[in-house]
Amino acid sequence: MARFHPLSVTDVTKTIRDAVVVTLKPVNGGDFDFIQGQYLTFRQDFDGTEVRRSYSICAGKDDGVLQVGIKKVDGGAFSTWANESLAPGMVIEAMEPMGSFHTPLDPQKPKHYLGFAGGSGITPVLSIMKTVLAREPGSRFTLVYANRGVNTIMFREDLEDLKNRYMGRLTVIHILESDAQDIDLFTGRVDAEKCKALFEHWIDIDSVDTSFICGPEPMMLGIAAALRDHGLTDDQIKFELFASAQPGRLKRRAASTSAAAAAKSTEATITLDGAARSFTMDKDQSVLDAALENALDAPYACKAGVCSTCKCRVLEGEVEMLANHALEDYEVAQGYVLSCQSYPVTDRVVVDYDQ
């Protein structure tokens, strides 16, 4: 089960105007020995609302630090806070590293990796790049790095340093959308067509063993299509869609079918293990989440309406169940619901986990 652990912030450095690199140190517990390319999921409370955000680790395995890169997104609560308020000495919470954006390392086997990064999508690719260059002495890395202009390139100096350190083994191709470059090919967007042109003159695609792509959706699709056209198979193409592009899923809104219930909150009474507790809950919140938030040890497993662990019975009032993949019709008829999928419709609900 995914748990949050405290991490102390030891350093915050700006890499470009609107992006920071945050260095972290586990305070007590949690296995933060990451695999290159993995990400951390943070949680932070903003005015009573918990926001969870995932950011890729940008450090290599041998850097000896735990670092993530956070680019400010317009209107993004977490990224703005991280860029403007986060400072050394503060403690933030994160889950242990997750993600499968990596391939096994093999120092004996020389490989050619081809990485594609769009903007802040560089973070996991940088982690992979640093790690394979250090741990696979015979491997090469070609990076195609897409940015709007020169001043939005994250880790520009780090990349130069790496190129110097691993002379001949690292190639970096910057593609800039709005800044003109000496070579026309290096201006514009990275799409299928651009890839095709790169594969003709600049990148020996036949020698590529594995490709890593991290960027926004259209870029990923275009690159993947081009790679497949050039003979790469699914197990040779690794994707990381960066999470910050997606809106937060925290407040799952119940489809408001009923205009009758005007109030935004509900008086709830929940019985668990023989004890009943009453509180006011938001109608945008599931019965299960409300119970957990009010210190009730409500049972749950999948939180997706799948496993039926969170089954409970509605004794009074009405809830709307968004998904049900576990309960039979007769159980629903008897008032059983999956609490993880149930949102109050009436201004009062009474729920029992013991029946």
Partner 1 sequence: MTEDTMDITDYLAQGGRLTNPANVPTRYRAELMKIMATFVDSELAGAAGFADVINAGPGIKERIAAARIVLEKTDNADKVLKLMGEFGANTERYANHHPWADRLPRDTAPGTARNAHDMRLSVLNYPLDGWTDAVVMNLLMGLAVDVQLAEFLTSSYQPFAEAIREVAPRETRHTELAAEGLEKLIAEGGTEAVNRSVAYWWPRVSESFGAGVSPRGAALKAMGLRSRSNADLRDAWLQRAGAALDKLGLDRPPTAG
Q: Under the rule (CB under 8 A), what is the footprint of partner 1?
A: 1-2, 39, 41, 52-54, 71, 74, 98-101, 118-121, 146-148, 152, 177, 189-190, 215-221, 224-225, 234-235, 238-243, 245-246, 249, 252, 299-309, 322-323, 325-327
**E strand or H helix at 233:** none
Instruction: Tell me how far, at minimum, the Cβ of 348 lies from partner 1, in Å.
Output: 26
Closest to partner 1 by CB, 121 or 344: 121
Instruction: Tell me how far, at minimum, the Cβ of 169 lies from partner 1, in Å.
Output: 26
Closest to partner 1 by CB, 12 or 292: 292
Closest to partner 1 by CB, 170 or 338: 338
Give 238's DSSP letter.
E
Instruction: Tell me how far, at minimum, the Cβ of 117 lies from partner 1, in Å.
Output: 9
Cα angle for residues 308, 312, 313 (degrees, 5° grid): 135
- Do 41 and 26 contact (CB within 8 A), yes or no? no
Instruction: Tell me how far, at minimum, the Cβ of 349 lies from partner 1, in Å.
Output: 21
- Do 312 and 349 contact (CB within 8 A), yes or no? no
Burial class, 255, CB count within 10 angstroms (exposed 0-12 / middle 13-18 / buried 19+): exposed
Backbone conformation region of residue 331, classed left if phi is above 0, alpha if psi is from -120 to 50, else beta = alpha
CA distance 258 to 161: 60
Closest to partner 1 by CB, 186 or 239: 239
Number of H helices, E strands in the chain: 7, 18
Closest to partner 1 by CB, 145 or 166: 145
Residues 6+ apart with CB under 8 A from 43: 4, 50, 51, 52, 93, 94
Instruction: Tell me how far, at minimum, the Cβ of 276 lies from partner 1, in Å.
Output: 24
Nearest 10 degrees: Cα torsion 190, 193, 199, 201: -100
The amino acid sitting at 335 is G
Tokens of residue 292, six digits = 């957990």
- Do 94 and 24 contact (CB within 8 A), yes or no? yes
Closest to partner 1 by CB, 9 or 241: 241
Instruction: Tell me how far, at minimum, the Cβ of 73 lies from partner 1, in Å.
Output: 8
Q: Can you name the residues that pair with 238 across neighbouring β-strands? A: 212
Closest to partner 1 by CB, 160 or 217: 217
Instruction: Tell me how far, at minimum, the Cβ of 326 lies from partner 1, in Å.
Output: 5
